[in-house]
Structure 1
């Protein structure tokens, strides 16, 4: 019987691999092996196993949003008027279709969702609100905050 990731824990070497790849996902296998103190072959095998078991879901680039013309980050809390399947599915699919939307989180508390949006200033945000967000059916209320500066971005804690 195949062992699943839930059945097996990762060891200190696996955690070092994850930590290094979180810092720089473009490391070559040779560079990664050197950083964690393994030879390339077992490092490659461990990395592939971590990928196949789902510890590593993929690799991505962090883009400079200012250079792309959308330097402002806005955090929007949204409350839906209902929570039936149709409203939830419509909301989710419309959020996924909007390129300005970077992340959407289902949250606890006063609001239902936290949305992270990239826009070009207050005018870009107003345009996003009026032409996109406020046209999504099922939204009862929203509250927004502009991010002033990002202190930490990306990464996942790889605990010892």
Structure 2
């Protein structure tokens, strides 16, 4: 038994990030101090392969970037520990999941509420049908990417969760006609 295997597993090991509620650290809300993580060409190739298929087995990942499986495992573990890889997620098709209507809702908060934007961001992320929440600089405080079963469901969401909230000053709802997940990495 190695010293590493004899220690009690951390909370992250007992509850992988893809199976537990995201924390501010998972979602990148906390500002990180210090220098950006130094990444070499192999790290970038690993990230590109993981972005393309997060379920790729370690031996196939290693082969795809031209390194040994043990080296691959060590590098991916380091990328996770450094926060470069924040988690692994299922890409769920809202249409096939019964929520074919997507929208971006711009939200502007009342003046006094702006001191609590980070806390409000987390509240918005918990609302049903919310896919993404963006805290913004500019005319609006948030963009919400939501999926709803139909126009009535979207209308109900805006009224029940946003328009009736006294902290919300304004909402603007923009329908999404097409969406494509970008493979930015």
TM-score by length of 2: 0.74
Which of these residues, 22, 26, 33, is aligned with residue 62 of structure 2?
33
Which of these residues, 61, 68, 73, is aligned with residue 44 of structure 1?
73
Name the residue aligned to 1:128. 157
Q: Distance in 2 between matches of 1:23 and 1:129?
A: 34
Structure 2: which 5+ runs fail to align?
1-32
Task: Say if 2:81 is the partner of 1:81.
Answer: no
Name the residue aligned to 1:137. 166
Please say which of residues 29-38 and 100-109 is displaced more in the overlay: 100-109
Three-state SS of the structure 2 residue aligned to 1:132 is: helix
Partner deviation per Cα, 1:74-124 (whole Å, 9 max, x = no partner): 001111112446753663343132121111111122211111111112111
Q: Distance in 2 between matches of 1:35 and 1:95?
A: 39
| Compared CA separation, residues 113 and 7, structure 1 to 2 (3 A) | closer
Please say which of residues 89-98 and 68-77 is displaced more in the overlay: 89-98
Name the residue aligned to 1:148. 177
| Compared CA separation, residues 144 and 50, structure 1 to 2 (3 A) | same
Q: Distance in 2 between matches of 1:111 and 1:59?
A: 30
Equivalent residues of 1:91, 1:136 under 8 A apart:
no
Superposition deviation, residue 142 in structure 1: 1.0
Using CA pairs below 8 Å that are at least 6 residues apart, which structure has the higher relative contact order? Answer: 1
Structure 1 vs Structure 2 CA RMSD: 2.2
Name the residue aligned to 2:8. none
Equivalent residues of 2:107, 2:141 under 8 A apart:
yes
Name the residue aligned to 2:28. none
Equivalent residues of 2:163, 2:171 under 8 A apart:
no
Which of these residues, 76, 80, 91, is aligned with residue 62 of structure 1?
91
Task: Say if 2:91 is the partner of 1:72.
Answer: no
- Number of equivalenced pairs: 153
